[in-house]
């Protein structure tokens, strides 16, 4: 194991300056997958489970969504919400059972609702996922195949949890994966940047939002 004393943020910034590998790049058709931008995770003033890395995160997501709709690319929003019993949270919900525990984010509750700042439109897709990855036991993969998607742009939170899980599964399913840096968030700086670093090295192109917008605009779309 290499030990050089740099923080996770410093490691990520150094990687951005001198990438270790070539990019996966943008393909022909993209989908925007926004992970769990729901009140339980986006409103730190109201919920102890929430976090914020960039105050403009949701504004960036809305800009990406508007561009994707204009190109005819699918826009997908995921959220976690469980039955009154919490049983569909499975073993994941056995570690705690307080009022803010995962399995107590109930269907129809304020914590399960998308943040009102999210500009979700009628033609967008809403997926209720129950585990970390947006691919696990959902129809996301078949939806992407129907739309002939080869590139995923993944936003939301948390960087070290559901975003990373979705990114890894996306790559495993054969998609090019793009992560707009300012459009993902986590509770603490170290796991946020450690996972940006790890995804950039292995699983995705981690790029500034401006580069992602340019990349989406330049895609053939056919």
Give the catalytic positions in this structure. Answer: 162
Beta bridge partners of 205: 178
Tokens of 194: 């450690």
**List of residues 6+ apart from 182 with CB closer than 8 A:** 54, 56, 57, 60, 208, 209
- Rounded to 10 degrees, the C-alpha dihedral 176/162/141/34 comes to -80
CB 153 within 8 A of CB 209: no
Q: How many CB atoms lie within 10 A of CB 77?
A: 24
Closest CA to 57 of 71, 80, 37: 37
């Amino acid at each position: 194991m290499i030990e050089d004393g740099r923080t996770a943020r410093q490691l990520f910034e150094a990687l951005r300056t001198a990438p270790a590998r070539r990019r996966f790049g943008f393909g022909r058709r993209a989908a925007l997958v926004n992970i769990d931008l729901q009140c339980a995770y986006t409103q730190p003033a109201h919920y102890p489970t929430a976090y914020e890395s960039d105050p403009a995160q949701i504004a960036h997501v809305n800009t990406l969504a508007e561009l994707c709709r204009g190109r005819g690319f699918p826009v997908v929003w995921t959220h976690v919400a469980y039955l009154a019993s919490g049983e569909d949270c499975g073993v994941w919900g056995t570690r705690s059972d307080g009022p803010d525990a995962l399995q107590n984010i109930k269907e129809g509750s304020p914590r399960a609702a998308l943040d009102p700042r999210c500009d979700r439109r009628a033609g967008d897709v809403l997926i209720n996922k129950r585990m970390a990855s947006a691919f696990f036991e959902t129809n996301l993969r078949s939806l992407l195949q129907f739309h002939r998607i080869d590139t995923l742009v993944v936003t939301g939170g948390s960087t070290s949890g559901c975003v990373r899980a979705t990114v890894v599964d996306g790559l495993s399913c054969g998609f090019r994966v793009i992560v707009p840096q300012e459009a993902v968030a986590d509770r603490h700086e170290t796991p946020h940047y450690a996972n940006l670093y790890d995804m950039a090295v292995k699983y995705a192109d981690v790029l500034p939002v401006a580069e992602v917008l340019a990349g989406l605009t330049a895609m053939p779309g056919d």
